[in-house]
């Protein structure tokens, strides 16, 4: 039996998945009861959660417009999550129609939905792979089909690295991806933090999920940009990174850092 175009046995509905929790909190429909319960627990533990996820999504859109406006025509989006319009390719191609995008996620539901969404576009590929194995992403034929690693690439790691534990060696994971990029490439990264409020109860929600939430402080998040030069305003809470309008209410409580870095020669 299939669902979303994939075998039902491939879908783990016994535990919440971060992408489906995110989808639920953004008002999406591609989630299960287990994800909804986790999302409600998260919102109770961190009252700004929904505001924060929307602010993170808005940061992603502003950052994509920035890197494409800077001349990049290739995007590698790792940990893409379930499609939420406007998607990365919609945002990027509104600035430059010739942008090519490779989406990567480890959830088969995300993979199926993204494939259905972009199946008509030869400039876009969708890959089922895990950030914990970065070289498998770089070497994947469907990534290589649209991404030329001899030309600048915008690497998106938006709200995904915080699902890597310290044992996963996240700094090395990011460095491996960085080293595959040529000069002139960009890193767009956002990461959950507990710097602005005690969010240990929110972390606990993910203990029952398919990936744990690993909050990191400012200095730890900045280290992911080693080898990149942070563009102004540097690392900031996501509502305050190059805002294009008034920040939402309670922005000072939002526990997401975001930044964009450029790889020099």
Q: CA geometry: angle at 178 spanning 175 and 183, to 5°?
A: 145
pLDDT tens digit sequence for 95-109: 999 999 999 988 777
**Contact present, 129 and 23 (Cβ < 8 Å):** no
What is the reported pLDDT for 2? 33
**Distance of alpha carbon 225 from alpha carbon 139, whole angstroms:** 22
Considering only CA atoms, give the Rg of the chain: 17
Across the chain, where does the E strand assignment appear?
2-3, 6-7, 74-78, 100-105, 124-128, 154-158, 186-192, 229-230, 236-237, 256-262
Q: Is the pLDDT of residue 259 over 80?
A: yes
Q: Is the pLDDT of residue 113 over 70?
A: no
- Using pLDDT thresholds of 50, 70 and 90, give the confidence band for residue 194: very high
What pairs with residue 12 in β-bridges?
none
- Using pLDDT thresholds of 50, 70 and 90, give the confidence band for residue 50: very high
Comparing CA positions, the residue from 175, 218, 170, 172 lying closest to residue 193 is 218
**Helix, coil or strand: residue 197:** coil
The per-type count for the chain, helices as H runs and strands as E runs, is 10, 10
Q: What's 82's DSSP letter?
A: S
pLDDT tens digit sequence for 207-240: 888 889 999 999 999 999 999 999 999 999 999 9
């Amino acid at each position: 039996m299939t669902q979303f175009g994939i075998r039902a046995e491939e879908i783990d509905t016994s535990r919440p998945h971060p992408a489906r929790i995110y989808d639920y909190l953004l008002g999406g429909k591609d989630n299960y009861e287990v994800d909804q319960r986790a999302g409600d627990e998260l919102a109770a533990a961190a009252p700004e959660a929904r505001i924060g996820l929307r602010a993170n999504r808005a940061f992603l859109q502003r950052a994509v417009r920035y890197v494409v406006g800077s001349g990049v025509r290739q995007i590698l989006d790792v940990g893409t999550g379930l499609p939420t319009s406007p998607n990365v390719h919609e945002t990027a191609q509104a600035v430059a129609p010739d942008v090519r995008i490779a989406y990567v996620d480890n959830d088969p539901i995300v993979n199926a939905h993204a494939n259905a969404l972009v199946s008509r576009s030869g400039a876009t590929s969708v890959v089922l792979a895990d950030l914990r194995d970065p070289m498998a992403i770089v070497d994947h034929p469907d990534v290589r089909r649209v991404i030329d690693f001899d030309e600048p690439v915008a690497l998106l790691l938006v709200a995904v690295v915080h699902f890597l534990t310290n044992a996963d060696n996240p700094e090395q994971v990011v460095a491996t991806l960085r080293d595959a990029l040529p000069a002139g490439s960009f890193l767009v990264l956002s990461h959950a933090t507990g710097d602005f409020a005690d969010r240990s109860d929110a972390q606990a929600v993910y203990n029952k999920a398919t990936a744990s939430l690993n909050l990191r402080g400012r200095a730890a998040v900045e280290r992911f940009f080693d080898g990149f030069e942070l563009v102004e305003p540097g690392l900031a809470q996501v509502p305050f990174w190059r805002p294009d309008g008034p920040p939402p209410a309670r922005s000072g409580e939002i526990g997401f850092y975001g930044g964009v870095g450029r790889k020099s020669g």
